[in-house]
Amino acid sequence: MRVALFITCLADQFYAEAGVATVRLLRALGVEVDFPQEQTCCGQPAFNAGHWNEARSLALRTLGVFQEAEYVVLPSGSCASMVKNHYLELLPGNKEALELAERTYELSQFLVRVLGVSELGKGLSGKKIAYHHGCHALRELGVREEPLLLLKNSGAEVLPWEAAEECCGFGGLFSVKLPEVSLAMADRKLATLPQAEVLTSTDAGCLLHLSGRMGKQGKGMRVVPLATLLWEAYAG
Amino acid sequence: MRVKAKLYPKEAARLLREKPGVRDAVTGATLHFEAGRKKAYQEVDAEAWRERAKRVKDHLLTHLDQYLELAEKRLQEKGVQVHWAEDPEEAHRILREIVARRGVRRAVKAKSMLTEELGVNPLLEALGVEVYETDLGEYLIQLLGEPPSHIVGPAIHLALSDIQRLFHSRFGTPLDASPEALAAVARRVLREAFLTAELGISGANFLVAETGTLVLMENEGNIRLATSLPKVHVAFVGIEKLLPRLHDLALFLPLTARAATGQRLSTYVSLIQGPAKEGEEGPEEVHVVLVDHGRTALLHDPEAWEVLRCLRCGACLNACPVYRQTGGHPYGYVYSGPIGAVLDPGLLGLEDTHPLPYASTLCGACYEACPVKIPIPKLLLTWRRRAVEQGLAQGWERAAIQAFSKVMQSPSLYRLFSKGLRGLPLPQDWLPLLRAWTEGRGPLKPSPKPFHQLWQELKE
């Protein structure tokens, strides 16, 4: 089985180690990994802000880049949803978009649903983890149980979190168009954060926003993408 | 009502800065409602109920002309006087005529968002009519001179201490009066109003076309009094609030109550079948004013009409983490929260409301909550796309998106950008954007090497 990794621009720049972890994990599970060099951004920021022309040309680029891929895997729920759900709105009737949508998965979704993996290893034994459900992973992709299953089966304790399924306030351009509201949302989320050792999520944007806010408040906690933890679960 | 939606981003920021108590009050109340809704949805096959309700509303909306004619006929058969108002001015004329003919000096009014839309209170005051809001929350904000902050809980933004201060200055109650003592004062004032008012005004949760039945849902009993004690009852009904058949209520009453407040049914449901007949108690005259105010035009908008399914339950407000921070006032119009962000542009046009579709992170919690499955995130995206097409996007945003898109179109430019992020100063144009981010979150710290560089090492 061959998988093309779509690292996403945000993870490429800010959470590069999530990409490394994804590659190592997939290889360890016997999957060949390609990294199409021409890839850039899926177009989500432009799309969500209403700039559909710009988004459409980036979507068409991405379709071309991943045309040959058997599967496309992203360590990001919102970019995966962009490809899976919104390319079809941007490019109605486009056959390639439909096909790509069917072959595209967020990482944990791919592991559980396609590879049928539910346990990676016991590398996270005893670790107390807070899991933030990225909104697009949760509500657009329906990824709710997969990350929790993989984390729990690796020996981690996923702590109950009242606001686990609430939006963190990132929302792409929302975070800079309405910075005060965005920060108030992060503060509400963080005020209910349990005493965990690690905070994780599928999405780089949410993590950048939450970890930045925590830092500003003088709170320290390890904040890493889910892919990084899943590799640790496997490798110990 | 004056529309102040353009000020949304500024007003939201100002409210968070100047009235932090609003955030606490609204967050507390909405989380409570939201938990109630979730529990109440779990007790039933919510997905099936919502799907069914959506279909009934879609059927109604796609045959609206026929159902409106039927409703008018049935209402008239029951002795109800039916009026049509295309805009607030026409609604005002109808009300003015009734007030003059009946010599109305005092009116009691049930909570109704449509009457907020039409500016019924300011009109009555201008006519010299004393008007009392009879919903307790609505009465509080009437005393304060504020618009409602929430579709269902108009005073959701107030803390007990705010109300204690208000009643202290108005009625001389002690500053530490208990909620029960405060309610007793309001009850005394409102009872007097009920007993002496010549006119009762209400909205309608539903108007059943098949039978010409006005349906009102409430928990405090005040609507029942407003529609039964005064000699004249005027109900303002948005043309989209119709239901085809009486038995549709079997679905819509429990669904609306569950969505709005987590109740299985509201405490009181009034089914009004016209004025009192010989020997009965009740109003001598019942008027139904069917109001358009932008709805017909919205119905013909193929991308935005679905918002007209809205039942005004407020579930999306309770579910919305953006609304929770500020309550409804910064949205600058009657309808706030996620539904306001897609309904207000539909009713008023994008020109005056265009920041509202951006008042969301597209998290999708509103769609999950909506009892009639209005695809709010999809509609938000539609209005945003139109805002850009109409040239309403701010200059910096357009420039940033175009620059971003240009970079992302070209892998070599992207590689350059990647290098720049790790050393070079960022272009000046991007600074406001960058500042808005870093002020609350500290500087952006890229990975030492981007992944596309690490990939080369992974290959070997």
Which tens digits make up the pLDDT trace of B124-152? 999 999 999 999 999 999 999 999 999 99
Q: Which residues, in sequence order, are CB contacts of A203 under 8 Å at separation 6+?
A: A76, A77, A78, A134, A136, A137, A170, A225
Considering only CB atoms, B447 lies closest to which of A9, A13, A39, namely A13
Q: Which residues of A are less than 8 Å from B370 in CB distance?
A: none
Q: Which residues of B are less than 8 Å from A19 in CB distance?
A: 451, 454-455
State residue B58's pLDDT score. Answer: 98
User: How confident is residue B80, by pLDDT bands cut at 50, 70 and 90?
Assistant: very high
Interchain contact, A171 vs B440, CB within 8 Å: no
Whole-number percent of chain B with pLDDT over 90: 93
Q: Which residues of B are less than 8 Å from A25 in CB distance?
A: none
| Dist CA A158 CA A198 (whole Å) | 10
State residue A220's pLDDT score. Answer: 86
User: How confident is residue B443, by pLDDT bands cut at 50, 70 and 90?
Assistant: confident
Helix (H) or strand (E) holding B12, with range, is: helix B8-18
State residue B457's pLDDT score. Answer: 93
State residue B331's pLDDT score. Answer: 98
State residue B71's pLDDT score. Answer: 98
Considering only CB atoms, A184 lies closest to which of B16, B397, B402, namely B16
CA B265 to chain centre: 20
Q: Which residues of A are less than 8 Å from B398 in CB distance?
A: 51
Considering only CB atoms, A16 lies closest to which of B398, B439, B449, namely B449
State residue B425's pLDDT score. Answer: 65
Distances (CA, A) of A161 to A128, B39, B236: 12, 18, 44
pLDDT beneath 50: ranges in chain A = none
Interchain contact, B381 vs A50, CB within 8 Å: yes
Is A116 in a helix, a strand, or coil?
Answer: coil
Q: With the CA atoms of A118, A120, A124 and A126 taken in that order, what torsion angle do they form, in degrees rounded to the nearest 10?
A: 50
Q: Is the pLDDT of residue B349 over 90?
A: yes
Interchain contact, A14 vs B364, CB within 8 Å: no
Q: Is the pLDDT of residue B429 over 60?
A: no
Q: What's the whole-model pTM score?
A: 0.97
Distances (CA, A) of A196 to A132, A221, B162, B201: 12, 8, 38, 55
Chain B residue whose CA is closest to A140: B364
| Dist CA B37 CA B261 (whole Å) | 6
Chain B within 8 Å of A37 (Cβ-Cβ)? yes
Q: Which residues of B are less than 8 Å from A45 in CB distance?
A: 401, 404
pLDDT tens column, B169-198: 999 999 999 999 999 999 999 999 999 999
pLDDT tens column, B198-246: 999 999 999 999 999 999 999 999 999 999 999 999 999 999 999 999 9
Q: Is the pLDDT of residue B430 over 80?
A: no
pLDDT mean across residues, chain B: 96
Interchain contact, B386 vs A178, CB within 8 Å: no
Interchain contact, B444 vs A14, CB within 8 Å: yes
Q: Give the minimum alpha-carbon distance from B420 to chain A in angstroms, rounded to a whole number.
A: 11
Whole-number percent of chain B with pLDDT over 70: 98
CB B209 within 8 A of CB B70: yes
Interchain contact, B408 vs A9, CB within 8 Å: yes
| Dist CA B330 CA B356 (whole Å) | 10
Chain A within 8 Å of B264 (Cβ-Cβ)? no
End-to-end, the C-alpha distance of chain B in Å comes to: 68
Q: Is the pLDDT of residue B308 over 70?
A: yes
Instruction: Count Cβ–Cβ pairs < 8 Å, chain A vs chain B.
Output: 194
Q: Is the dihedral of CA B71, B74, B77, B79 positive or negative?
A: negative
User: Phi-psi category of B332—alpha, beta or left, where left has phi over 0 and alpha has psi -120 to 50?
Assistant: left
| Dist CA B356 CA B345 (whole Å) | 8
Considering only CB atoms, A23 lies closest to which of B321, B359, B458, namely B458
CB B42 within 8 A of CB B264: no
Residue type, B384: R
Interchain contact, B325 vs A185, CB within 8 Å: yes
Considering only CB atoms, A51 lies closest to which of B401, B410, B448, namely B401
Q: Give the minimum alpha-carbon distance from A231 to chain B in angstroms, rounded to a whole number.
A: 15
Query: What DSSP state is assigned to residue B426?
Result: P
Residues 149-168 of A with CB under 8 A from B: 166-167
Q: Which residues of B are less than 8 Å from A12 in CB distance?
A: 418, 450-452
Kindly report the length of chain B.
460
Residues 120-139 of A with CB under 8 A from B: 135-136, 138-139
Chain A within 8 Å of B237 (Cβ-Cβ)? no
Chain B within 8 Å of A47 (Cβ-Cβ)? yes
Considering only CB atoms, B361 lies closest to which of A17, A46, A135, namely A135
pLDDT tens column, B389-428: 999 998 889 999 999 999 999 999 999 999 988 887 665 4
Provide ipTM, 2 decimals: 0.97
Chain A within 8 Å of B325 (Cβ-Cβ)? yes
User: How confident is residue B2, by pLDDT bands cut at 50, 70 and 90?
Assistant: confident
CB A23 within 8 A of CB A107: no
Q: Give the minimum alpha-carbon distance from B321 to chain A in angstroms, rounded to a whole number.
A: 7
Q: Which residues of B are less than 8 Å from A182 in CB distance?
A: 361, 440
Query: Token pair for residue B152?
Result: 């269902």
State residue B434's pLDDT score. Answer: 83
Q: Give the minimum alpha-carbon distance from A198 to chain B in angstroms, rounded to a whole number.
A: 19
State residue B228's pLDDT score. Answer: 96
Q: Which residues, in sequence order, are CB contacts of B426 under 8 Å at separation 6+?
A: B420, B434
